[in-house]
């Protein structure tokens, strides 16, 4: 049994900035999430062809930008010209893709916290982990609370561990198979982040007993949130910034 260390992050985390109320992974979403009282945000980071960490979930540009094809195959000079808001609604048309540096400046200027999900373009798992970790360390240098780096990709977290071992890490799961807990421990993780349906009292006890925190995605129903709070989990990532008060 490993004692739990103090957890510096709030329970409630706004998914991709403001869930579905604004174009995901944009500064507009972060600002909208903040207007609902959220002070911690989750976002997805990948690399441009020339190594600039920027925010986008999908491997391809088609769903959330005016571009086409693999985002990581294009240089930042091209990506920076895309419309990342018009797909969502007319009022957000022209919203650009942000770099990780853009988001870091916004968060640090306002005292907000960040969960950076390392979301590599397939084939760049290790490199993306290394670069995102190095950039995060640079951008949050001197910050009282660093960003939490998470990923589904073990290789990305290995890269982050090798590049900046002092930054906190969390391993994401959509199923719990095999030696899942040992894998998180081997990566020196401070958190396990699961599909919320995977948590029960026994799994929470396993994670807490290993000295790690239990976080959940993506929680959009009150019954699910109440269940997770009753189980004693530590963090809830939600799209419903309009439904859940982060003070709760």
pLDDT digits (tens, 9 = 90+) for 237-246: 999 999 999 9
pLDDT digits (tens, 9 = 90+) for 46-103: 999 999 999 999 999 999 999 999 999 999 999 999 999 999 999 999 999 999 999 9
Share of the chain above pLDDT 70, in %: 100
Q: If we measure between CA atoms, which residue out of 244, 163, 205, 221 comes closest to residue 233?
A: 205
Report the C-alpha gap between 139 and 2 in whole angstroms: 31
Q: If we measure between CA atoms, which residue out of 215, 128, 112 comes closest to residue 172?
A: 215
Note whether 71 and 60 are within 8 A (CB): yes
pLDDT at 43: 99
Q: At what angle do helices 125-139 and 100-110 cross, to 10 degrees?
A: 30
Residues of the chain with pLDDT under 50: none
Instruction: Give the HSE-up count for residue 219: Cα atoms under 13 Å, Cβ half-sphere.
Output: 28
Q: Which sequence positions are flagged as catalytic?
A: 15, 57
pTM: 0.98
pLDDT at 248: 60
């Amino acid at each position: 049994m490993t004692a739990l260390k103090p957890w510096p992050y709030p329970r409630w985390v706004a998914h991709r900035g403001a869930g579905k109320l604004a174009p995901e992974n944009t500064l507009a979403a972060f600002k909208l999430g903040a207007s609902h009282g959220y002070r911690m945000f989750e976002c997805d980071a990948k690399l441009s062809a020339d190594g600039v960490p920027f925010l986008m979930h999908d491997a391809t540009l088609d769903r959330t930008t005016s571009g086409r094809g693999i985002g990581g195959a294009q240089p930042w000079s091209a990506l920076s010209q895309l419309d990342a808001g018009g797909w969502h609604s007319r009022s957000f048309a022209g919203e650009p893709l942000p770099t990780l540096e853009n988001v870091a400046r916004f968060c640090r200027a306002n005292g907000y916290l960040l969960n950076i999900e390392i979301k590599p373009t397939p084939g760049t798992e290790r490199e993306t982990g290394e670069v995102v970790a190095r950039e995060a360390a640079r951008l949050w240098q001197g910050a009282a609370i660093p960003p939490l780096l998470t990923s589904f990709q073990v290789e990305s977290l290995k890269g982050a561990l090798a590049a900046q071992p002092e930054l906190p890490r969390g391993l994401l799961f959509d199923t719990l198979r095999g030696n899942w807990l040992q894998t998180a421990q081997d990566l020196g993780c401070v958190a396990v982040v699961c599909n919320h349906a995977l948590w029960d009292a026994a799994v929470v006890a396993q994670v807490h007993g290993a000295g790690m925190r239990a976080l959940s995605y993506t929680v959009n129903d009150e019954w699910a949130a109440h269940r997770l709070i009753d189980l004693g989990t530590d963090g809830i990532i939600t799209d419903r910034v309009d439904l859940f008060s982060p003070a709760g």
